[in-house]
Amino acid sequence: MIHLDHVSFGYSKHKMLFDNLSMRLEPGHIYGLLGKNGAGKSSLLRNMAGLLFPLKGKIDVNGYEPRNRQPSFLQDLFFIPEEIYLPSVTINQYLNTLAPFYPKFDEQQFRHYIKEFDIPEHNKLTGMSYGQKKKVLTAFALATNTKVLLMDEPTNGLDIPSKSQFRKIVSSALEPDRLILISTHQVRDLDNLIDSIIILEDSEILIQHSLDVVSERLYFGTLSTIPNDSNVLYSEPSLRGYKAVTENLEQEESRVDLEQLFNAVIENPARIKQIFN
């Protein structure tokens, strides 16, 4: 559904944000796109949405080249940017203006999400807090029922209960023919939400796999001491010893810790490539 073929992009030809990037993302999944600030996550999403254009390579989203911004492409893709600006209108006025652009928009579904998010329906959007605005836009995006939904830092501005609501609502909106891609540097916000992970660093993708594959190849656990062992990819002190990520040589079961995974990938990119490739 989203195919990148040797894509390169940068704001200057002398400095690429990502270079020769190739990936295939398929429907029926919620992908988490992780990377440090400045790694190019937002720019990658904007290339997929047709708001920025690759310097080299080709992008195919749902059978379309995004840069052409064809109406049939736009009505089946929704992009939530990190910084949002909503007009001084009520929710009903917002729906009346924008919903007609999305043929599969479901108003009943939208009202359900708004209720779940505890949003007052009669206030003007500009009178809402930043977190409330984010939730209104998330509810609208999900109710468009587009095949592709791109979210850039969607949990910024949300408090802890709202982040839990966000995970619950987004996971319920996944369909077999829908692809959801969420970019964030707040790794823990994606716990119990995503089923596949992409980590972008130093102009390349260091890992792109399902969490099932990650748990097969890496073990996440607690060690009393840290052995001088190349199998330990990352460790940090904890109350019970050390939380560690190791190569899963014994094929033990463990729950993937996204934050530890991210740190392990950043600290040992060459070893991670060896394990997964």
Cβ pair 79, 27 in contact under 8 A: no
Query: What whole-number distance in Å separates Cα of residue 94 and Cα of residue 111?
Result: 13
The string of pLDDT tens digits covering residues 216-245 is 999 998 888 776 767 888 988 888 788 899
Mean pLDDT of 259-274: 91
Q: What pLDDT shows up at residue 97?
A: 94
Q: Which long-range contacts (CB under 8 A, 24 or more apart) does 60-67 make?
A: 60/2, 60/3, 60/5, 61/1, 61/2, 61/3, 61/148, 62/1, 62/2, 62/147, 62/148
pLDDT tens digits, one per residue of 4-38: 999 999 887 777 888 889 999 999 999 999 988 77
pLDDT at 227: 66
pLDDT at 173: 92
- Report which of residues 157 and 47 the model is more confident about: 47
Same domain, 232 and 265: yes
Domain membership of residue 206 (yes or no) is no
Number of domains within the chain: 2
Pull the structure tokens for residue 276: 């997964």
135 in the same domain as 11: yes
What CATH number should be reported for the domain holding residue 16?
3.40.50.300
Sign of CA dihedral 37, 40, 43, 48: negative
pTM score, whole prediction: 0.92
SS3 track for the chain: CEEEEEEEECCECCECCEEEEEEEECCCEEEEEECCCCCCHHHHHHHHHCCCCCCEEEEEECCECHHHCCHHHHCCEEEECCCCCCCCCEHHHHHHHHHHHCCCCCHHHHHHHHHHCCCCCCCEHHHCCHHHHHHHHHHHHHHCCCCEEEEECCCCCCCHHHHHHHHHHHHHCCCCCCEEEEEECCHHHHCCCCCEEEEEECCEEEEEEEHHHHHHHEEEEEECCCCCCCCEEEEEEECCEEEEEEECCCCCCCCCCHHHHHHHHHHCHHHHHHHHC
271 and 154, same structural domain? no
Instruction: Retrieve residue 120's tokens.
Output: 């007052």
Instruction: State the first-to-last Cα distance of the chain, in angstroms, to the nearest integer.
Output: 23
**Cβ atoms within 10 Å, residue 233:** 21
Q: Find the domain containing 130 and state its range.
A: 2-201
What sign does the dihedral 201-207-210-211 (CA atoms) show? negative
Beta-carbon neighbour count of residue 270 at 10 Å? 8
Q: Is residue 258 part of a domain?
A: yes
Same domain, 37 and 164: yes
Same structural domain for residues 170 and 245? no
* CB-based burial, 181-194: b 16+ in 10 Å, e otherwise: bbbbbebebbeebb
Residue 102 has pLDDT above 80, yes or no: yes
Question: Per-residue pLDDT for 169 more than 70?
Answer: yes
Using the 3D structure, point to which of 183, 201, 219 is the last residue of a domain.
Answer: 201
Confidence bin at 146 (pLDDT 50/70/90)? very high
The answer on pLDDT for 39 being more than 80 is: no
- Residue 9 shares a structural domain with residue 129: yes
Residue 136, pLDDT score:
94
Give percent of the chain above pLDDT 70: 99
One-letter identity of residue 41: K
